[in-house]
Structure 1
Amino acid sequence: MGEIDQTLFVDGPPCVVVDKVRMSYKVPSSDGRTTTGGRGGFRGTIRKVLRQSNLVTVSALKEISLVVERGESVGIIGRNGSGKSTMMKLISGQAAPTHGAVYASSTPVLLGVHAALVPDLSGDQNVVLGCLAMGMDMDQINERFDSIVEVSGLDSAIYLPMKSYSSGMASRLRFAIAASVNPEILLVDEALNTGDAQFNNRSKARMDELRAQAGCVFIVSHSLDTIRSMCSRVIWLDKGELIMDGETQETTQLYHEFSSHLSKGNNISAAKIKDQARANLIATQVLERASGRRMEGR
């Protein structure tokens, strides 16, 4: 994770630049083993199972470039295994790309403070713990405690053990803690799908405040309604490839049609939608590069 050189931009730097990023992992594979019968019988099979697996390279993200400006709220959608969470880890700095680089104007905050929370402690104790983990001091925590509870909507339940919370209540608390730090760059990974209409309104209002403070927000969600209500731009990933990067309504509509065809077994129709969206993206990128060259030549 690098910082953006602000002197390169006349009108101020963007919040995040993803520059030709690729991400791959080496994972064990059992390909080629004898799993039943064969030479050596059962004992031979067990010996092979116990041997160290071959390592194979899996591409989590193919080459992707993005520029995200201040005030944008970017939704990231796609099927499971498409690279959404990998993208969030790269932007947040939790992982380094195999190739390329990610630049940010400030340290991104990933809505993932649950790693620092303790189920046996009460909600209010976890507020203190989570805020301390994000670098606040006790004066800052005391100042923001009431607003955190208000955003979470937990009311008196804030004093009950967190292990007694439903998944929705726990998600609301995590969001309220993470959003209390006023980050310039906030990343939200599947934490808003609580089914609570009042909380959705509060969380949307809070993120509108963050965007108004000249920051940007990234949201990963399987809920297209959440994406439509909270995002000004949507990125569609599929099998590690950037398929579409565009206006919210158009992108979510095409993705919905793609998913609908897949669910009905219409794989050819789904592939056509994806291929056309990808072709349009490539054409747009080519035009943008050509336009940039013309501007440089003037």
Structure 2
Amino acid sequence: MPAASTGPGTASTGTGRRPTVIASHVDVVYRVNGAKGGRGSAVAALSRIARRGGSPGGRRVHAVRDVSFTAYRGEAIGLVGTNGSGKSTLLKAVAGLLPVESGHIYTDGQPSLLGVNAALMNDLTGERNVQLGGLAMGMSREQVRERYEEIVEFSGINEKGDFISLPMRTYSSGMAARLRFSIAAAKNHDVLLVDEALATGDRKFQKRSEARIRELRAQAGTVFLVSHNNKSIRTTCERVLWLEHGELRLDGPCEEVMREYEKFTAR
């Protein structure tokens, strides 16, 4: 039976650093129906298992293997690895969106996952999505009203017209991604998990986003950042977890891990 993710409060360590996420020997496994595998992501596969009760003839795919780490308040942690290394799967497990096959994940506070595919409602206007998204992130209606103009300005989607009053289906992927990040970044988080959400923005927006991540970190939150942009990782994070084939290959200071990772990818 899979071990359930839980979220108890965690005590301070002897060094005075307060853990926010503890992953202990975490395995995430999904099953692909059919003898030769199947289509879709790990999330889709796990959803099918939940609906159908699994398939005894399915192929087991080990997405995350025996991963352990502890994250602390005030840290910004980058996750790097080649495609299919398990980065996004691990973030979803930390957020409680994927069950773990074995091991445990403990969190102090509520993790919030911001991904490039985070759901907004295409038939509603950007304005309405800001309101609903803010409420979904745990803000009160008054807080959403107070921060509305700041969210829109940060996103930059009105720089070339009144797009905030148009349905989301009229937005480019970059505009939608910027609005998603702006909504999430308007609130301070205990643990913010950012999965490639900065990849579709232009350089100007990326710089604003990196600065905001540093602010969140300075306000004693913990930020995890998945990105294929090594410069963004270096600019934003002081610690990096390098995953490869679902295994944690290195966990250490940003420059040290990135140097080894870049040697590996240059081969």
Q: Identity over aligned residues, as a percent?
A: 46
Q: 4+ runs of 1 displaced by more than 6 Å? A: none
Structure 1: runs of 5+ lacking an equivalent: 32-51, 262-298
- Decide which of 141, 160, 175 is 1:169's aligned counterpart: 175
How many residue pairs match? The answer is 242
Q: Indicate whether 1:243 and 2:243 are aligned.
A: no
Q: 1:199-257: CA deviations, max 9, x gaps?
A: 11211121111111111100111111211111111111111111111221222232222
Bigger share in helix? 1
For 2:225 and 2:10, how far apart are their aligned partners in 1? 25
TM-score, length-normalised on structure 1? 0.75
- For 1:122, the aligned partner's letter is T
- Decide which of 7, 19, 24 is 1:3's aligned counterpart: 7
- For 2:33, the aligned partner's letter is P
For 1:8 and 1:212, how far apart are their aligned partners in 2? 18
Contact 1:29 1:53 in 2 (8 A): no
- 1:23 match: secondary structure: strand
Could you say which residue in structure 2 is the equivalent of 1:222? 228
Residues 229, 7 of structure 1: CA spacing in aligned structure 2 closer, same or farther, 3 A cutoff?
closer
Where in structure 2 are the equivalents of 1:59-74 lying within 5 Å?
59-74=62-77
Q: CA RMSD in A?
A: 2.1
Could you say which residue in structure 2 is the equivalent of 1:143? 146
Residues 252, 73 of structure 1: CA spacing in aligned structure 2 closer, same or farther, 3 A cutoff?
same
- For 2:191, the aligned partner's letter is I
Could you say which residue in structure 1 is the equivalent of 2:79? 76
Higher relative contact order (CA 8 A, sep 6+): 2
Where in structure 2 are the equivalents of 1:60-139 lying within 5 Å?
60-112=63-115, 115-139=118-142
Q: 1:102-159: CA deviations, max 9, x gaps?
A: 1111010111495541122221111112122223332121011111112211223322
Contact 2:79 2:225 in 1 (8 A): yes
Q: 1:248-275: CA deviations, max 9, x gaps?
A: 12222322222221xxxxxxxxxxxxxx
For 1:7 and 1:121, how far apart are their aligned partners in 2? 43
Q: Indicate whether 1:20 and 2:25 are aligned.
A: yes
- For 1:91, the aligned partner's letter is V
Contact 1:6 1:12 in 2 (8 A): no
- 1:80 match: secondary structure: coil
Structure 2: runs of 5+ lacking an equivalent: 37-54
Contact 1:187 1:218 in 2 (8 A): yes
Could you say which residue in structure 2 is the equivalent of 1:202? 208
Q: 1:10-64: CA deviations, max 9, x gaps?
A: 5253111111111112222325xxxxxxxxxxxxxxxxxxxx8822221111101
Contact 2:115 2:196 in 1 (8 A): no
For 1:97 and 1:181, how far apart are their aligned partners in 2? 28
For 1:137 and 1:113, how far apart are their aligned partners in 2? 24
For 2:57 and 2:7, how far apart are their aligned partners in 1? 38
